[in-house]
């Protein structure tokens, strides 16, 4: 419980309409999209909705004085309880801070607030011929602040990398309310080697070190042309080996996506008018650049795929590209169609493995599914080893839920044992904190020391990332 004195100070800081204490309101903030909060929601004691950096600073000064935990939150599209107040206290919702502050396209950058939705930024940039290349599947709901906090990525990470590669600087409110700029307080540079790289420290810190209030992002010109290579395989091992060989041949697609048999079946159930071919697996490669570059790269990628695939085709026609690509985009929404009465479980859906381990991982995921009688519908960004092993379970069946938790643990530990990670793009939060020591060893102690140095009262998003 939060003292009335604290609540009154919060109301004075942001206005009474932006301080929520009604139990029904609080319950909404006890969830994200993940498995664990669906089973065990964690409502906060109060929700505060700041509209400016000054208000964020005021909130943090109050929290610091009274040692109240603070959990930053925006769209809550995460799946790891990262934006849920697992130890109570304040949830600081950042959605009011959603403006594009400045376009400095001559210097290839923009200034935005953390509550701006990803798709909105690209919508505003498109008339000027620019884009922010990182492309998460939840683009229409995910905020830029959430992307920075989790170092999000997406389908085009093969070529364009993750959010980390585009963050040039951040305005951050520290736990005691102090406001700092990382990357140079007046900088417009695209690179700097001055001082500790505090920007990169904050990216991926999941709100455990401070509250992001402004973001300086690098943007790029929109590619002139796009093409897609489509390949269907009768054997998952052949599919995985094809991915490895594509890189040996110095192919440079912007994305390499995979769909297994179950995900193909799911999409065909939801979109029977344009069915995908029945196969053990499908690869979809996107190439972008100049028309000549797209044509050359597509032909080279097609030649590599033809060695093992039963069907290969490529196209640079925008309508055909959209038709092919939409199949991949529908998987998440379609997977429950294969098993009526089930819901998707966001638990082991975000592993990463070395590219050379992709064939083994794809086969092993099918084996785990059969061994435990839990459907695993695998798809993902196979070009960087990021696989989504989506489980579907009837949430009314407690035994199946327990089994799903066991399978999730097996899958995530399998990835780590292969030299991979339990989370390739969705963050750690509370849900995956148990794997931090296995992944990082003694380096976790260094992370904890940084946390103690910057947040000695441990009020910033406590209970996350094993910190």
Give pLDDT tens digits for 364-377.
999 999 999 998 88
Pairwise CA distance, residues 336 & 342, whole Å: 6
Q: Looking at residue 414, what is its pLDDT?
A: 96
Residues 6+ apart with CB under 8 A from 24: none
Share of the chain above pLDDT 70, in %: 100
Rounded to an integer, the average pLDDT of 272-277 is 87
> 372 to each of 262, 336, 358, 396, how far by Cα in Å?
16, 18, 21, 18
A 10 A CB-CB count for 99 gives 12
Residue 146: its H or E element: helix 144-150
> 165 to each of 87, 159, 219, how far by Cα in Å?
32, 11, 10
**To which residue do tokens 């364009």 refer?**
160
Rounded to an integer, the average pLDDT of 243-257 is 87
Q: Looking at residue 270, what is its pLDDT?
A: 86
Q: Are 397 and 345 in contact (CB under 8 A)?
A: no
> What is the token pair recorded at 185?
């307080």
Query: pLDDT digits over 424-444, tens only?
Result: 988 999 999 999 999 999 999
> What is the token pair recorded at 290?
């100049």
Answer yes or no: is pLDDT of 348 > 80.
no
Query: pLDDT digits over 109-161, tens only?
Result: 999 999 999 999 999 999 999 999 999 888 889 999 999 999 999 889 989 99
Kindly state the DSSP code that residue 75 receives in the 8-state scheme. Answer: S
Quote the strand ranges of 66-137, DSSP E: 70-73, 90-93, 100-104, 109-112, 130-131
Which pLDDT band, with edges at 50, 70 and 90, does 221 fall under?
Answer: very high
The alpha-helical segments, DSSP class H, found in 207-342 are: 236-248, 261-270, 291-306, 318-329, 331-334
Rounded to an integer, the average pLDDT of 8-17 is 97
Answer yes or no: is pLDDT of 232 > 80.
yes
Burial class of residue 301, CB neighbours in 10 A (0-12, 13-18, 19+): buried
> What is the token pair recorded at 118?
């990803």
> Chain-wide mean pLDDT for the chain?
93
Pairwise CA distance, residues 426 & 418, whole Å: 19
Pairwise CA distance, residues 425 & 136, whole Å: 9
Q: Looking at residue 466, what is its pLDDT?
A: 96
- Rounded to 10 degrees, the C-alpha dihedral 126/130/133/135 comes to -10
**To which residue do tokens 């930024």 refer?**
121
Q: Looking at residue 345, what is its pLDDT?
A: 83
Q: Looking at residue 106, what is its pLDDT?
A: 97
Q: Looking at residue 337, what is its pLDDT?
A: 79
Kindly state the DSSP code that residue 462 receives in the 8-state scheme. Answer: T
Exposure string of 119-149, with b = 16+ CB inside 10 Å and e = fewer, is bbbbeebeeeebbbbbbbbbbebbbbbbbbb
Residues 6+ apart with CB under 8 A from 33: 76, 77, 78, 79, 346
Domains of the chain: 4-93 (3.30.43.10), 100-221 (3.30.465.10), 225-334 (3.30.70.2190), 339-434 (3.30.70.2740)
Rounded to an integer, the average pLDDT of 337-359 is 86
Share of the chain above pLDDT 90, in %: 74
pTM: 0.94
Rounded to an integer, the average pLDDT of 246-255 is 85
Which pLDDT band, with edges at 50, 70 and 90, does 341 fall under?
Answer: confident
A 10 A CB-CB count for 431 gives 28
Which pLDDT band, with edges at 50, 70 and 90, does 346 fall under?
Answer: confident
Rounded to an integer, the average pLDDT of 352-357 is 91
């Amino acid at each position: 419980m939060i003292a009335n004195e604290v609540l009154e100070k919060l109301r004075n800081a942001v206005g009474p309409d932006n301080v929520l204490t009604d139990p029904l309101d609080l319950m909404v903030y006890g969830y994200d999209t993940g498995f664990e909060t669906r089973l065990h929601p964690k409502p906060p004691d109060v929700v505060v909705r700041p509209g400016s950096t000054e208000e964020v600073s005021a909130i943090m000064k109050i929290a610091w004085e009274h040692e109240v935990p603070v959990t930053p939150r925006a769209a809550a599209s995460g799946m790891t309880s990262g934006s849920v107040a697992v130890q109570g206290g304040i949830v600081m919702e950042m959605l009011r801070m959603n403006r594009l502050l400045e376009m400095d396209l001559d210097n290839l950058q923009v200034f935005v607030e953390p509550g701006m939705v990803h798709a909105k930024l690209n919508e505003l940039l498109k008339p000027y011929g620019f884009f922010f290349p990182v492309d998460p599947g939840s683009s229409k709901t995910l905020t830029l602040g959430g992307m920075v906090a989790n170092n999000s990525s997406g389908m085009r990470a093969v070529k364009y990398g993750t959010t980390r590669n585009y963050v040039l600087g951040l305005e951050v409110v520290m736990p005691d309310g102090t406001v700092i700029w990382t990357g140079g307080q007046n900088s417009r540079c695209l690179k700097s080697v001055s001082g500790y790289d505090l920007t990169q420290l904050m990216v991926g810190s999941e709100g455990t070190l401070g509250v992001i209030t402004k973001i300086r992002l690098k943007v790029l010109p929109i590619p002139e042309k796009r093409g897609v290579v489509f390949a269907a395989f009768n054997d998952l091992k052949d599919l995985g080996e094809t991915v490895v060989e594509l890189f040996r041949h110095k192919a440079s697609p912007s994305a390499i996506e995979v769909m297994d048999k179950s995900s193909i079946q799911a999409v065909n159930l939801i979109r029977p008018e344009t069915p995908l071919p029945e196969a053990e697996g499908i690869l979809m490669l996107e190439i972008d650049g100049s028309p000549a570059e797209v044509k050359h790269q597509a032909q080279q990628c097609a030649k590599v795929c033809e060695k093992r695939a039963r069907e290969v085709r490529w196209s640079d026609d925008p309508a055909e590209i959209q038709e092919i690509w939409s199949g991949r985009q529908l998987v998440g929404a379609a997977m429950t169609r294969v098993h009526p009465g089930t819901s998707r479980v966001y638990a082991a859906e975000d592993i990463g493995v070395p590219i050379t381990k992709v064939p083994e991982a794809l086969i092993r995921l099918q084996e785990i599914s059969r061994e435990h009688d839990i459907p695993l519908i695998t798809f993902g960004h196979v070009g960087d080893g990021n696989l989504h092993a989506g489980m579907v379970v009837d949430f009314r069946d407690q035994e199946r839920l327990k089994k799903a938790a066991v399978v999730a643990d097996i899958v995530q530990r399998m990835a780590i044992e292969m030299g991979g990670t339990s989370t390739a793009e969705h963050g750690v939060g509370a849900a995956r904190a148990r794997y931090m020591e296995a992944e990082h060893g003694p380096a976790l102690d260094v992370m904890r020391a940084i946390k103690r140095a910057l947040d000695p009262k441990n009020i910033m998003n406590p209970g996350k990332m094993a910190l």
